[in-house]
């Protein structure tokens, strides 16, 4: 549980970002096509990797990592670190775009494609959404067509090194075609659902999908 200082930081952060949603902060009113414009509207390029979270960075030794996949699936599973490491790994390169306006190009990751998870659990036909839960209490939602895209993956490494705690290590989800709040750090559960379940920021004024090129910051 967060301490007093962490709790105050979390409360202040939530109030600030809720006020951004109410005010439409950073909105340009523009849209663009990712096939033509690499940088989405209103974004600025950075070369560092900013750290944003809810004020709590769980300290998760790999041996304590568990990932549950359940809900509307034929084969619910709970994977420990050894099982996760045994899944087929791939290298990924992508750009990432944060709703707080920064974008970073050419990120090199090591991870497991979401397609491998889907093959394992076999979602039922009525599964149309997923709810994603993290160890810090964070949640977010994705439609199945966004979750199941071939470029999405569980990340274990970044820039040739194990993923650092501040960036979601030892494991996070990466969904590069949406704003980065849709890529939860310290992932612990993926629940397959028939109905949408808005997550932490979505119930606080943020868009349910979050397409950067459509500037879906708030909803």
User: Of the ranges 5-14, 96-105, 198-207, which one carries the lowest mean pLDDT score?
Assistant: 5-14
CB 16 within 8 A of CB 65: no
Q: How many CB atoms lie within 10 A of CB 112?
A: 21
Residue 219, in any domain of the structure: no
The parent domain of residue 11 ranges over 4-214
pLDDT for residue 36 is more than 70: yes
pLDDT for residue 74: 98
Predicted confidence band at 77 (pLDDT cuts at 50, 70, 90)? very high
pLDDT for residue 2: 54
Q: How many CB atoms lie within 10 A of CB 91?
A: 11
- CATH code of the domain covering residue 204: 3.90.420.10
Q: Which of 218, 185, 177 minimizes the C-alpha distance to 92?
A: 177
Residue 147, in any domain of the structure: yes
pLDDT for residue 211 is more than 90: yes
**Which pTM does this prediction carry?**
0.94
Helix (H, G, I), strand (E, B) or coil at 45: strand
Q: Which of 152, 132, 127, 146 minimizes the C-alpha distance to 198?
A: 132
pLDDT for residue 5 is more than 90: no
pLDDT for residue 197 is more than 70: yes
% of the chain residues with pLDDT over 70 = 97
Report the mean per-residue pLDDT for the chain: 95
DSSP state of 40: P
Give the C-alpha distances (Å, rounded to integers) separating 62 from 1, 157, 159, 188. 20, 13, 19, 12
pLDDT for residue 207 is more than 90: yes
- Quick: pLDDT tens for 162-183: 999 999 999 999 999 999 999 9
Residue 90, in any domain of the structure: yes
CB 114 within 8 A of CB 126: no
Indicate the number of domains in the chain: 1
Residue 29, in any domain of the structure: yes
C-alpha 219/C-alpha 192 separation (Å) is 23
Q: How many CB atoms lie within 10 A of CB 168?
A: 27
Q: How many CB atoms lie within 10 A of CB 99?
A: 27
Residue 171, in any domain of the structure: yes
Across the range 127-146, mean pLDDT stands at 97
In this structure, what are the phi and psi dihedrals at residue 40, rounded to the nearest 5 degrees?
A: -65, 165
pLDDT for residue 106: 98
Q: Report which of residues 159 and 5 the model is more confident about.
A: 159
């Amino acid at each position: 549980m967060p301490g007093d200082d962490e709790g105050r930081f979390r409360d202040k952060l939530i109030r600030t970002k809720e006020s951004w949603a109410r005010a439409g902060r950073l909105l340009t009113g523009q849209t663009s096509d990712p096939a033509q414009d690499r940088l989405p509207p209103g974004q600025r390029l950075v070369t560092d990797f900013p750290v944003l979270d809810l004020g709590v960075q769980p300290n998760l030794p790999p041996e304590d990592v568990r990932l549950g996949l359940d809900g509307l699936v034929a084969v619910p599973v709970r994977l420990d670190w050894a099982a996760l490491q045994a899944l087929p790994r791939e290298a990924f390169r992508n750009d990432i775009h944060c709703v707080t306006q920064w974008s970073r190009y050419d990120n090199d990751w090591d991870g497991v494609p979401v397609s491998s998870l889907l093959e394992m659990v076999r979602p039922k036909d009525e599964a149309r959404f997923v709810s994603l839960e993290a160890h810090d209490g964070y949640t977010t939602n994705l439609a199945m067509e966004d979750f199941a895209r071939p470029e999405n993956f569980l990340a274990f490494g970044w820039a040739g090194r194990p993923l650092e705690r501040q960036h979601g290590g030892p494991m996070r989800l990466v969904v590069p075609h949406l704003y980065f709040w849709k890529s939860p750090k310290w992932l612990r559960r993926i629940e397959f659902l028939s109905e949408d379940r808005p997550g932490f920021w979505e119930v606080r004024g943020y868009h349910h999908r979050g397409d950067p090129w459509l500037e879906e910051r708030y909803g």
